[in-house]
């Protein structure tokens, strides 16, 4: 009888151990961490990266519009890495800004301005620091005239770039015959 009880006790222990193991195996795994935080953070980063790219791209476009150049919609040989794209757009924006702030004939436009009027001179028929009439503004600064009004509302750089467009179109400094002579330009 003692052997029977020992065997029964051993079986009962084995059964308890088996049940405990089975319960552990069947227990549901702990819930996985929510993936929303894992994916939300990269989306935030991607939005921030895109915001930075857009900021530099719009700066490039602003300066290109002022200069009358076509807009750069995409970079040639753009890098794949996002950080590199941001750095490239930043570099392009810096270079375009430098060129826009230094028109090819800046010294000459400043000399003409010296003899013409204030940059914000509102007296018709000539407006601004380079004394441009409305026909001249329509032909060479149509977008600025449409968005900002006559030249007396434009920045000095915008006025110089409109004059630069006329110069590139073959007009030279002849729209300012007297002051261009004073400056030794014609």
Q: How do residues 7-34 score in pLDDT, each as one tens digit?
A: 655 555 555 556 555 555 555 555 666 5
Q: Tell me if 5 is assigned to some domain.
A: no
Same domain, 67 and 97: yes
Work out the average pLDDT over 70-82. Answer: 90
Q: Tell me if 29 is assigned to some domain.
A: no
In whole angstroms, give the CA distance from residue 163 to residue 133: 12
Q: Among 23, 90, 14, which residue's Cα sits nearest to residue 57?
A: 90
- Asked whether the CA dihedral 165, 170, 175, 176 is positive or negative, the reply is positive
Q: Which two tokens stand for residue 2?
A: 């003692």
Same domain, 113 and 89: no
Same domain, 94 and 131: no
Q: Tell me if 23 is assigned to some domain.
A: no
> For residue 79, what are the domain limits?
45-102
Q: What is the pLDDT of residue 46?
A: 87
Alpha carbon 34 to its chain's center? 34
Same domain, 72 and 133: no
Same domain, 137 and 173: yes
| 152 in Cβ contact with 128 (< 8 Å) | yes
Same domain, 130 and 168: yes
Instruction: Tell which of 69, 84, 102 closes a domain.
Output: 102
Same domain, 72 and 115: no
Work out the average pLDDT over 147-160. Answer: 97
- If residue 32 lies in a helix (H) or strand (E), which one and from where to where? none
- Alpha carbon distances (Å) from 6 to 2, 14, 47, 80: 6, 12, 71, 73
Backbone angles phi, psi at 127, to 5 degrees: -125, 150
Same domain, 157 and 119: yes
Same domain, 114 and 161: yes
Q: Tell me if 14 is assigned to some domain.
A: no
Q: Tell me if 27 is assigned to some domain.
A: no
Structural domain total, the chain: 2
Q: Tell me if 98 is assigned to some domain.
A: yes
pTM: 0.72
Same domain, 97 and 112: no
Residue 175's domain is classified under what CATH number?
Answer: 1.10.530.10
Q: Tell me if 58 is assigned to some domain.
A: yes
Q: Among 137, 164, 174, which residue's Cα sits nearest to residue 153?
A: 137
Q: Which two tokens stand for residue 67?
A: 């200069």
Same domain, 129 and 98: no
Confidence band of 143 (pLDDT split at 50, 70, 90): very high
Q: Tell me if 13 is assigned to some domain.
A: no
């Amino acid at each position: 009888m003692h052997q029977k009880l020992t065997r029964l006790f051993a079986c009962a222990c084995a059964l308890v151990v088996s049940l405990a193991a089975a319960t552990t195996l069947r227990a549901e795994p702990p819930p996985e961490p929510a993936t929303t935080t894992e994916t939300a953070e990269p989306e935030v980063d991607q939005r921030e990266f895109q915001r930075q790219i857009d900021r530099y791209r719009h700066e490039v476009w602003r300066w290109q519009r002022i200069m009358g150049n076509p807009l750069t919609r995409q970079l040639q040989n753009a890098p794949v890495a996002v950080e590199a794209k941001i750095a490239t757009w930043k570099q392009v924006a810096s270079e375009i800004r430098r060129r826009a702030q230094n028109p090819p004939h800046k010294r000459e436009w400043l000399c003409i301005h010296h003899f013409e009027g204030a940059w914000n001179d509102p007296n018709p028929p000539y407006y601004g620091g380079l004394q441009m009439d409305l026909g001249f503004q329509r032909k060479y600064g149509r977008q600025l005239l449409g968005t900002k009004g006559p030249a007396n509302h434009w920045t000095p750089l915008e006025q110089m770039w409109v004059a630069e467009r006329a110069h590139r179109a073959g007009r030279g400094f002849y729209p300012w015959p007297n002051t261009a002579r004073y400056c030794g330009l014609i």
